[in-house]
Amino acid sequence: MDNRQLSIKELEAKAKETRRLIIEMLAKAGSGHPGGSLSATDLVVALYFNILRFNPKDPQWPDRDRFHMSKGHCCPLWYAVLAQTGYFPKEELMTLRQLGSKLQGHPARSTPGVESASGSLGQGLSVGLGMALAAKMDKKDYRVYVLMGDGETQEGNIWEAAMACSHFSCDNLCAILDFNGCQIDGRCEDIMGLEPLAAKWQAFGWHVIEIDGHDMRQILSAYEQAKTVKSKPTIIIGRTVKGKGVSFMEGVIGFHGKAPTKEEAEKALKELA
Amino acid sequence: MAEQLYQRDVYGQTLVKLGELDKDIVVLDADLSSSTRTNLFAKQFPERFFNFGVAEQNMMAAAAGLASCGKKVFLSTFAVFAAGRAWDQIRVSIGYNNFNVKIVATHAGITVGPDGASHQALEDIALMRVLANMNIIVPCDGPQTADAVIAAAETPGPFYIRLGRSKVPTIENKDGFKLGKAQVISEGNDVTIIACGIMVFEALLAVKNLAQKGIKARLVNVHTIWPLDKEAILKAAKETKFLVVCEEHNVIGGLASSVGEVVAGNCPKKVIHLGVRNRFGQSGEPQDLLKEYNLTSLDIEKAVLSNIS
């Protein structure tokens, strides 16, 4: 990957392109999860294009930074970014969820650039912890990034991992929380309240950065700040809007796990033009 | 009397030996390191040992992360917590990824004793056997525990190794250990007794008693539940009149089921299951529990005598 940093404008354009790909993939597949893919887009685009150290020609390069998507259902976003950064041709995106495709309905190691499977929520932060411990043992300076959903933090495994990342002083680990406030059955606060979320992570010994998860400037500065934190892990809580970028999906619970129809996709792509 | 060893002592000692040779070996435990004996490794290689506290799910998924970075991870806790508590983490983060994680679960089976049902894993083989990619070994004694641990270290991919809590007598004069290759401990063509784990010793006692009654029993130690030695099982089914399968486990889903599946599809013969049937365990001394749950050499002998024509 070239090391050129993209400008805010360029990153915003990449994010828009990524959202278009997500809509196209999901419409083609006929099923999948647009809401959380669109809400986390800016957080993941900024990470891959300006922060993460990797080489798509050598996906197993030992010194690469690690990214793991714990909220596996948002893999259309991951796949769109992996294709744009050169892990595989963009055309392959249209095979999402088809029999024999490298791009499974939830992340699997068949996809170049995917480190570990996910899909059963709550395990990814632990997987990231293992990667962070390996880096420390091997005295390597790669960093580990784990994207989680907000509903996902209702899983007990997340808090086991939260406790351990802090216990083992994993300052090489940065969690990213896509706080769009929605889950399948409704608003998180109605289903199983998460607040005060920042205070919970602070109490578990984390450095917490709260940002607008759609503001590229804030996102980049949060990632840079996280790199400077010593002896404790960092979590970036990005306040986001589920379905961001497509007016009729924004904040609509129904689009958590429902792909756009052909007509909806056309309408969405016009908005994202 | 044969030498008696704790399988978990042998496990801990073997880990230390492997750790000296292979710097990629990392060991994890969940607050039971003095019982599982991973504390031996922890003492020798503190920089490669991590105690996860009472959080098995986190330990299991973190093992996956370590393995993804090239580490050879051994991790231990009691069998109920390894196979039961953290099953989904094993399934998605270890099994599906086909990562190099070796789960060495101790305190399996009814012979856990006084701790009672909550701590007596009678389902763990079944839970592991249904997972694709998972290799499963149930060593019969101390020396075979070392063989199993070494085989797991040498073979890429996930493993589940099942160990007991109590001391077990060493079975003398076995063939060399080979992953996936059953061991014929005694030859005979009247009946085949198939066993794993501590039941191999009980079966051996039964074989000796049966010999005095003129019955020649073949004893097969199926230490590797997966990959299963179908050849040895079918050979026994063809050459002997019926099979008795003994395991310190529920009769559903474990060794008996494995044998039954192979025999039913290929060479139908009667297969008698000696294991725990639709019951949880309970507190008691190991020897009393084996009697209560019909898992002694006498029970095996009875099963043979009442079915032989």
Give the tens place of pLDDT for each residue, A136-152: 999 999 999 999 999 99
A135 vs B contacts (CB less than 8 Å): 69
Give the tens place of pLDDT for each residue, A215-240: 999 999 999 999 999 999 999 999 99
Q: Do B91 and A130 touch (CB under 8 A)?
A: no
Q: Do A120 and B65 touch (CB under 8 A)?
A: no
B53 vs A contacts (CB less than 8 Å): 163-164, 167
Q: Do A133 and B92 touch (CB under 8 A)?
A: no
Q: Do B61 and A131 touch (CB under 8 A)?
A: no
Residue among B124, B140, B114, B143 nearest B82 (CA): B124
A109 vs B contacts (CB less than 8 Å): 97-98
Nearest CA in chain B to A167: B52
Q: Considering CB atoms only, which of A132, A160, A167 is closest to B57?
A: A160
Per domain, the residue ranges of chain A are 8-271
Q: Considering CB atoms only, which of B60, B71, B96 is closest to A117?
A: B96
Give the tens place of pLDDT for each residue, B257-300: 999 999 999 999 999 999 999 999 999 999 999 999 999 999 99
Specify the DSSP element, H or E, that contains B91.
none
Tell me if domain B4-169 and domain B183-304 are identical in fold: yes
Q: Considering CB atoms only, which of A120, A130, A160 is closest to B66?
A: A130
Q: Do A126 and B70 touch (CB under 8 A)?
A: no
Give the tens place of pLDDT for each residue, A5-54: 999 999 999 999 999 999 999 999 999 999 999 999 999 999 999 999 99
In this structure, which topology does domain B4-169 adopt according to CATH?
Rossmann fold (3.40.50)
Answer yes or no: is pLDDT of B2 > 90. Answer: no
Q: Name the DSSP class of A144.
A: E
Q: What is the CATH number of domain A8-271?
A: 3.40.50.970
B62 vs A contacts (CB less than 8 Å): 126-127, 129-130, 133, 161, 164
Per domain, the residue ranges of chain B are 4-169, 183-304
Residue B173: the pLDDT is 86
Q: Considering CB atoms only, which of A117, A138, A164 is closest to B92?
A: A117
A-B contacts (CB, under 8 Å): 108
Cα B12 to Cα A81, B99, B104, distances in angstroms = 45, 22, 10
Average pLDDT value for chain A = 97
How far apart are alpha carbons B91 and B130 in whole angstroms? 10
What torsion, rounded to 10 degrees, do the Cα atoms A169, A170, A174, A177 define?
-60
Portion of chain A with pLDDT greater than 90, in percent: 99
> Across chain B, where does the E strand assignment appear?
4-6, 25-29, 49-51, 72-78, 101-106, 135-137, 159-162, 167-169, 183-186, 191-195, 217-221, 224-226, 243-250, 271-276
- What is the CB neighbour count within 10 angstroms for residue A157? 26
Q: What is the CATH number of domain B183-304?
A: 3.40.50.920
Average pLDDT over residues B206-234: 98
Specify the DSSP element, H or E, that contains A149.
strand A144-149
Nearest CA in chain A to B64: A127
Is the pTM above the cut of 0.95?
yes
- What is the CB neighbour count within 10 angstroms for residue B2? 12
Q: Do B57 and A168 touch (CB under 8 A)?
A: no
